[in-house]
Amino acid sequence: MPKKTKEPTPYTKGDILELNITDISTDGSGIGKIDGYTLFVKDAVIGDFVKVSIMKSKKNYAYAHLDEIIKPSDFRIEPPCPVARACGGCQIQNLDYTKQLEFKNNKVRNNLIRLGGFDAEFIDSIMEPIIGMNDDHFRYRNKAQFPIGTDKNGNPISGFYAGRTHAIIPVQDCLLGVEENKEILNIVLDHMKKYGIKAYDETTGEGVFRHVLIRKGFTSKEIMVCFVIQHKNKNNPQKGNSRTENKPSNNAVSDYINHQEKLINKIIAINGVTSISVNINNEKTNVILGNEIHTIWGTDYITDRLCGIDFRISPLSFYQVNPVQTEKLYNTAIEYAQLIGNETVWDLYCGIGTISLSMAKKAGHVYGVEVIPQAIDNARENAVNNHIENATFYVGKAEEVLPDFYEGKLITKTSAYNSTSAEVQHRKALHPDVIVVDPPRKGCDINCLETMLKMKPERIVYVSCDSATLARDLRILVDGGYKLTRACTCDLFPNTVHIESVCQLIRE
């Protein structure tokens, strides 16, 4: 075998250097340069003058450890969270909020230019000011998923994974989450200790408790608690009590969690708890939730009000984590859709129908598509509960449902139309006025984009949580005959590097 030659690097491990931090990387690390050579320094912020030691060096760049802040940046702030540095959740909590917004807006701008191949001047002419959080930018998250593990002494712990690892940093009170999280976690950990219930061990695959998922409706104040557990020998996996009976179940679900009634009674004493469920995940995976879910107390869902509509949210359904900013994001998407009342709209990747139903109030008919069946159940219930009759939802992958619909395969499957008005409606859906997409980070599948181009909507509204895949997909749509006309970023995730964007495209 040929001997692997080592890349020449200007520095080696342990070298100590001093430098100015002049930029921030996409994952929130500080970036500085010495003679054109790039150094990534975690926890350093733009404007810091720092002393670092090289940890790992390559030909063109190195990762360095922040040894000392010689002169702190004017934008550096003391992070309010005591574990901000160790925890992987908030990458830029130590950066002034105005500067956070500037960094995020630039990140999207640069991706559109570099990865989307758009002209810088053009992007600057269409980008609108970033929509930041006005007041407090902590405690904004309505959802938290805490991993459960074991400390050195064998005691159960909950917290968050340290950046890029699966080591749990014990923390009950995340400052991005609601205050009730701490109380609930304390009850769970005490219960585990008292009854000797083991946390799931990722290496051996043994143990019970994997995660605790907590969600709170910010307007309804309803709280959902879902225990994600490993449960291999389930002899009698009956469903829990009915949706309406608000008392602990007597059904044969007791083997899910030992002494579960005691646990339930303590948790329901917390103000607002209306739903307790168990999710079974027996896979050796880092995917948090399994597919099997049993309500063990209360309702199968919680409700929350957004854009004037009440939404039912199940443990498995996607629901944006920052409701205050989500309303602003959706209102921008609605504005970009330019609805006057009779339009036909597709909402792809619709989740529980949040965007679909908000738009249905202002459009002729809306079609929603989503891959998670429980989310579509929620979307349909949400339409009924809010007396919205002009919305149709399909379960399936956008890249399969949309082509099937376009090629006429869905009609026969669902025998969706049998009247003239339904036929007219169907024809309109083949060439809609607007298509909205809000895909996960990996963006839209090429089959989905190609079908969208064939359907020739007048406008496309692209909502994105990853500006790299957004840029890639926008290029395909623009090359397919659309003009990028408006773009805006909205901060749904203060103190982290994540950012949402929304773009409007108009058919040329």
Residue ranges that bind ligand SAH, judged by CB under 6 A:
318-320, 349-351, 354-355, 369-372, 375, 397-399, 438-440
Could you give the C-alpha distances from 146 to 32, 71, 228, 298, 310, in angstroms and in order?
A: 34, 36, 10, 22, 27
**CA 82 to the chain's CA centroid:** 24
Q: How many CB atoms lie within 10 A of CB 420?
A: 8
Task: Calculate ∠ Cα 363-367-369, nearest 5°.
Answer: 145
Nearer to ligand SAH among residue 99 and residue 380 (C-beta): 380
Nearer to ligand SAH among residue 248 and residue 315 (C-beta): 315
d(CA 21, CA 17): 12
* Per-residue burial over 179-216, b = 16 or more CB atoms within 10 Å of its CB, e = otherwise: ebbebbbebbbebbeeeebebbeeeeeebbbbbbbbbb
d(CA 261, CA 449): 50
**DSSP β-bridge partners for residue 87:** 162
Nearer to ligand SAH among residue 126 and residue 372 (C-beta): 372
Nearer to ligand SAH among residue 168 and residue 213 (C-beta): 213
Find out whether 283 and 205 touch, Cβ atoms under 8 Å.
no
Concerning whether 350 is annotated as a catalytic residue, the answer is no
What is the DSSP secondary-structure string of 436-492? EE---TT---HHHHHHHHHH--SEEEEEES-HHHHHHHHHHHHHTTEEEEEEEEE-S
Nearer to ligand SAH among residue 318 and residue 493 (C-beta): 318
Q: Could you identify the residue written with the tokens 């058919």?
A: 507
* 3-class DSSP string for 263-291: HHHHHHCCCCEEEEEEEECCCCCCCCCCC
Least distance from ligand SAH to the Cβ atom of residue 163, Å = 24
Exposed/middle/buried for residue 284 (C-beta within 10 Å: 0-12, 13-18, 19+) = exposed
Least distance from ligand SAH to the Cβ atom of residue 15, Å = 44
Find out whether 472 and 443 touch, Cβ atoms under 8 Å.
yes
Nearer to ligand SAH among residue 55 and residue 307 (C-beta): 307
Least distance from ligand SAH to the Cβ atom of residue 402, Å = 9
Nearer to ligand SAH among residue 69 and residue 289 (C-beta): 289
Least distance from ligand SAH to the Cβ atom of residue 503, Å = 15
How would you classify residue 14: left for phi > 0, otherwise alpha for psi between -120 and 50, otherwise beta?
left
Nearer to ligand SAH among residue 205 and residue 440 (C-beta): 440
Q: How many CB atoms lie within 10 A of CB 326?
A: 21
Q: Nearest-CB residue to ligand SAH?
A: 351
Active-site position among 81, 444, 448, 465: 465
| The token pair that represents 336 in the structure block | 């970009």
Least distance from ligand SAH to the Cβ atom of residue 507, Å = 22
How would you classify residue 356: left for phi > 0, otherwise alpha for psi between -120 and 50, otherwise beta?
alpha
Nearer to ligand SAH among residue 177 and residue 439 (C-beta): 439
Least distance from ligand SAH to the Cβ atom of residue 398, Å = 4
Least distance from ligand SAH to the Cβ atom of residue 151, Å = 34
Least distance from ligand SAH to the Cβ atom of residue 323, Å = 11
In sequence order, what are the residues at sequence separation of 6 or more whose Cβ sits closer than 8 angstroms to the Cβ of residue 379?
Answer: 350, 351, 352, 353, 356, 357, 368, 370, 391, 393
* Per-residue burial over 444-476, b = 16 or more CB atoms within 10 Å of its CB, e = otherwise: bbeebbbbbbebebbbbbbbbbbbbbbbbbbbb
Looking only at the bridges linking them, the beta strands covering 273-280 and 292-298 are antiparallel
**CA 64 to the chain's CA centroid:** 30
What amino acid positions are annotated as catalytic residues? 465
